[in-house]
Amino acid sequence: MRFGFILVTALVMSISRSSQVGSGSGKARKSSTSARSSRYYLEPLQLQLHSNHKWRLENPETHHHIRHGDWMQFQALAAVAESQKLQQHQQQYNKLATRSSSGGGGGSSSSSSSSSSSGSGSGIVWPTKLEAVIDGGDLILGGLMMVHEREDSVTCGPIMPQGGIQALEAMLYTLDRLNAEDFVPGVKIGAHVLDDCDKDTYGLEMAVDFIKGSISNIDGAEFHCNKTAVRKVIAGVVGAASSVTSIQVANLLRLFRIPQVSFFSTSPELSNKQRFEYFTRTIPSDHYQVKAMVEIIKQMNWTYVSVIYEESNYGVKAFEELESLLAKNDICIAVKEKLVKDSGVADESVYDSIVQKLLTKRRARGCIIYGSDQEVAGLMRAVRRCNATGAFSWIGSDGWSARGLVSDGNEPEVEGTLSVQPQANPVEGFEDYFLNLTVENNKRNPWFVEFWEDHFKCKYPNSSLTPYNVKYENACTTKERLMKSDMAFENQLQFVSDAVMAFAYAFRDMHRDLCGGKEGLCDEMRPTKGEELLKYLRRVDFKGLSGDRFKFDSNGDGPARYNIIHFKQISPGQYKWVRVGQYLEGTLHLDMNEIQFRLEHASPPESVCSLPCELGQAKKYVEGESCCWHCFNCTQYQIRKPNDETQCIDCPEGTVPDETHSYCRDIPEEFLKLESGWAIGAMSFSSTGILVTCFVVGVFIKHNDTPIVRASGRELSYILLLGILLCYSVTFALVLRPTNIVCSIQRFSAGFCFTVVYAALLTKTNRIARIFRAGKQSAKRPSFISPRSQLIICSMLVSLQILINLVWMVIDPARAEHVYPTRDDNLLVCNSYVNASYMIAFTYPIILIVVCTVYAVLTRKIPEAFNESKHIGFTMYTTCVIWLAFVPLYFGTGNHVALRITSMSVTISLSASVTIACLFSPKLYIILIRPERNVRQSMMPNRHGTTKNSGVTSTNMSSMMAPITLTAVTCDQNKTVQQHPVLANRTDNSTQSECFELKARDLQSTRRQSSALVSKSTQTQNNNNNKDNFKEQGALSLCSQPDGSSSAGSKSAIIDACSTNRTSQGADDEGAS
């Protein structure tokens, strides 16, 4: 009731306005066109609904008192009323009607006509409203075809052979096939096809016919525009072809729940099922076509292109997606221009202006054109007028490519075009069907006679006058026949056939479910419910007449399958569209060998604003141009920033640019390799030293109990040899590839080995110095001169170095790291090399060296028997010279790792070699070459020798000499020398010389007399040497002074201390008695 009441009110209002319109045909048609374009100028009115609820319905452009959907419903119904107004003037044009109802071509056909505007010629009414009808159908499909082209001066232009007539015949042919097979049991599918003249406004007017039957069945009420005929309900609509028309028609059909399947409309906007719920299509969305275009541009290596698009929903929506995708792929748009959709508005100057703008960006050779054939044809003519033929390579959309309207007469301008076409195969049997058609056997197509006249360029007998056949002077013979050689077929007719097939499969599935297999229509399908039919339609899955499998995707669109076609000159003057690739499921397959942009020029033109920068260069963009730049050079140690081509960045230390300056490559690590000459030389030297040291150790072990070994102090000698062996071994740690572990070993061992050597030497020199210093001061035996004490002192000195190393390791752990003295160096070293922290390891050994050297200087004048202190002194002097030479060499070779490490290794080994040569070669000489001197007597001084300025007869004893027997000599009151031979006692397995302090009895003489007595006793002793019962040992004269003190006490203490020896010397004591 609600829709019916609105309809009646709209009709009354429309008819009321029509009475005010003049009766002249031209004036009436102009008024109708004006009313249609201004949405019929409906005055506000009130509608009384059955619920007695009042609405205020007003123009939504100025008021918003009603819902948008209800206003659209009202507009649609007002369009119906306007259509009825046009029919009131039908009587004025009956005499000009050129068509009458007739049957033919697989079903009876009828045509009705009405004029919408008058032509310029006398007696010409154009266009005439015609319809192709297949009568007798139980289910009727509406069809909206662009049989005529757009035109500015009249509503409809000339006939459109391919996308119009052939598409219409493909629909009728498919219905013939289906009805012949009784596809839906007992149900014939009819057709009611109209022409939209490729205009959205005119197409919307024609689509009103599709809803009249639905209006007559609303709520059981019937409304008949022509009371002599009852219109059947249109179950579904096939069409329209263009996106702009489909959008308008979809809004109308949605209100009446009539499903619509388009075959050529590709606008992405139509995929929005919130707005276009009842719209589906067999052709894929332009969303995928745009992707295919971008992939082609990428394949051509173009980065700078122009875009021309038509100012319509089809072009604007595609451009929005194209612009986004190009930006994502770093492809810039040089020029973007709109083509006015209506060719009548855009004259030649508009097209010329577009071409001139393209020529300002001559480096943008690639140009995308997204439009319809009429607009693109005008653009190509402008290219020829501007002498720009061959200046551009076109990437075309499906709206104009492979259309004769564009290429005919413009072949040189179109040559080289690559276009994206939805993949379609020929409809089985259609070419033969179409070539056998004539005007006589195809009465159901009222426009076929126009096609015939256009194709053969003649005037068909008894045909109506049109603005386009008046120019033909020749009359058609009716004997003409269509030939394949003269016919260009639309290559996308598969989508028309699939649209019809989709409805047919939906009808059959719906009939099976609702009618239970009973032939003919059941009550449940009288009439068909649009919402039910839509559900079956979206679920169809079939193999069409083209042989391809078809099903709708989730958006109600056709599968995304595209052919890439190319317009090429196959021979001079002969051009042809050929397929050169495919775009399937997001992947482009392009045969570049088949592409020829110009005859004998296969390579694609260059379409870039600026040439790529050379190696090692960065970009400086031109202001306002994102794809135009100047190049500048990066410096020697810079590369272009990977993610920013406008900046040069420095390579990190340890790397340098590669030859192409595209990335930073690592500088090979530089460290002392084992196979290098430096390492081999250092290891050879150290190996020799290790062998010599092992030889010395072996000799000492073999002659461990000989006097010369015992006299050298065996315990400290072995510790000294161990330190020397470690010094040689450090070399092998120094030449290894630095790692954290290797660096730790190097840091610890470098200082530790020296500490062991010089701790032993310091213990020796300190002992000698203390003994002589104590002997000069008193007769008391010095402390800590026993072998055990010496080992403890040496261990304590070494332990301090270990403690220093441990603390150092904790504070600053040793690690391998890279250092870069220059930009071309990459030294792999231990961190101790970097900051000279090795001096921490050497500080303590250097202190020991200095102290040892000081002691060596202090003991340089001791008796000849103590010549080992002189050897130690010489060792210290030589070591100091070596290390003084090493320091500048080490710090002066910071960039030469091999030389620095080798110098350190050789310095350590050389210090060890000096030590072993100076301290152990004299002993080896006696042991190996002069073994006869390796006896106790050789270790004794010349018994006739005396110490200088002393009253003590000494044996020139060594600091490590064997135990001796002392004879105490005293002077009695009669100044007679008394001898007291005393055999040294052995305590704790170590022979110790005991020093007896003998006091002279009743010493009352003066200091001079005492001195004289000493001198006399000494002379007496020397004179009676051969008669003494001494044990071939040194003697000590001790004379008492008047105050009872012993002047010989200090000398006695020296003998006592120096006679101290090591463990296990008891047997020698026995042999020495």
One-character DSSP codes across 535-564? HHHHT-EEE-TTS-EEE--TTSPPP-EEEE
Q: Taking residues 111-120, what's their average pLDDT?
A: 45
**Listed ranges 33-37, 48-52, 358-362, 871-875; the one with the highest mean pLDDT:** 358-362
Token couple for 726: 């470690």
195 pLDDT more than 80: yes
Greater confidence, 215 or 613? 613
24 pLDDT more than 50: no
Token couple for 744: 């730790």
Beta-bridge partners for 977: 971
4 pLDDT more than 60: no
Greater confidence, 434 or 743? 434
Q: Are residues 809 and 946 in the same domain?
A: no
Give 996's contacts (C-beta < 8 A, 6+ positions apart): 966, 968, 980, 982, 1052
Residue 599 lies in a domain: no
Q: Work out how many domains the chain is built from and give that number.
A: 6
Please give the Cα distance from 1062 to 789 (Å, whole number): 11
Residue 124 lies in a domain: yes
Residue 606 lies in a domain: no
Confidence band of 614 (pLDDT split at 50, 70, 90):
confident
Q: Are residues 834 and 929 in the same domain?
A: yes
Confidence band of 381 (pLDDT split at 50, 70, 90):
very high
Name the residue among 622, 648, 643 with its Cα closest to residue 633: 648
Q: What is the pTM assigned to this prediction?
A: 0.54
Confidence band of 495 (pLDDT split at 50, 70, 90):
very high
Q: Are residues 118 and 239 in the same domain?
A: yes
Confidence band of 481 (pLDDT split at 50, 70, 90):
very high
Strand bridging mode 549-551 / 541-543: antiparallel
Range with the lowest mean pLDDT among 461-465, 710-714, 829-833, 988-992?
Answer: 988-992
Please give the Cα distance from 324 to 327 (Å, whole number): 5
Q: What is the pLDDT of residue 823?
A: 86
1002 pLDDT more than 60: no
928 pLDDT more than 80: yes
Q: At how many degrees (to 10) do helices 348-359 and 373-385 cross?
A: 70
Token couple for 201: 């406004």
Site of tokens 């070459």: 929
90 pLDDT more than 50: no
Token couple for 700: 């000492």
Report H helices in 346-388: 348-359, 373-385
Q: Which of 904, 934, 964 is the last residue of a domain?
A: 934
Contact 396, 420 (CB under 8 A): yes
Q: Are residues 53 and 192 in the same domain?
A: no
**Tens-place pLDDT, residues 140-155:** 999 999 999 888 777 8
Q: Which of 19, 54, 88 is the last residue of a domain?
A: 88
Q: What is the pLDDT of residue 220?
A: 46
Structural element, H or E, at residue 393: strand 393-396
Confidence band of 25 (pLDDT split at 50, 70, 90):
very low
Residue 604 lies in a domain: no
Greater confidence, 134 or 214? 134
Q: What is the pLDDT of residue 894?
A: 63
Q: Are residues 649 and 681 in the same domain?
A: no
Q: Are residues 271 and 352 in the same domain?
A: no
Owning domain of residue 646: 617-666
Q: Are residues 264 and 293 in the same domain?
A: no
Residue 811 lies in a domain: yes
28 pLDDT more than 70: no
Q: Taking residues 864-892, what's their average pLDDT?
A: 77
Q: At how many degrees (to 10) do helices 167-180 and 493-515 cross?
A: 30
Range with the lowest mean pLDDT among 332-346, 758-772, 781-795, 843-857?
Answer: 332-346
Q: What is the pLDDT of residue 814?
A: 86
Token couple for 61: 């452009």
276 pLDDT more than 60: yes
Token couple for 335: 């020029």
Q: What is the pLDDT of residue 168?
A: 96
Q: Are residues 272 and 147 in the same domain?
A: yes
Q: Taking residues 870-874, what's their average pLDDT?
A: 79
478 pLDDT more than 70: yes
439 pLDDT more than 90: yes
Please give the Cα distance from 253 to 268 (Å, whole number): 19
Range with the lowest mean pLDDT among 490-504, 533-547, 622-636, 766-780?
Answer: 766-780
Q: What is the pLDDT of residue 88?
A: 41
Q: Are residues 825 and 973 in the same domain?
A: no
Provide the 3-class DSSP secondary structure of residue 418. strand
Q: The CATH number of the domain where 789 resides is what? A: 1.20.1070.10
Residue 354 lies in a domain: yes
Q: Taking residues 305-334, what's their average pLDDT?
A: 90
Q: How much of the chain exceeds pLDDT 70, in percent? A: 71
Range with the lowest mean pLDDT among 220-224, 832-836, 946-950?
Answer: 946-950
Mean pLDDT of the chain: 76
Structural element, H or E, at residue 141: strand 139-145
675 pLDDT more than 80: yes
Residue 532 lies in a domain: yes
Q: Are residues 767 and 637 in the same domain?
A: no
Greater confidence, 506 or 58? 506
Q: What is the pLDDT of residue 641?
A: 85
Q: Are residues 683 and 739 in the same domain?
A: yes
87 pLDDT more than 70: no
Confidence band of 29 (pLDDT split at 50, 70, 90):
very low
Taking only Cα atoms into account, the Rg of the chain, rounded to an integer number of angstroms, comes to 60
What 8-state DSSP symbol labels residue 708? Answer: H
Report H helices in 139-192: 167-180
Q: Which of 88, 109, 138 is the last residue of a domain?
A: 88
What 8-state DSSP symbol labels residue 1063? Answer: B
Residue 602 lies in a domain: no
CB count, 10 Å around CB of 236? Answer: 29
Q: What is the pLDDT of residue 959?
A: 35
Q: What is the pLDDT of residue 114?
A: 47
Q: Taking residues 26-53, what's their average pLDDT?
A: 34
Q: The CATH number of the domain where 377 resides is what? A: 3.40.50.2300
Q: Are residues 858 and 752 in the same domain?
A: yes
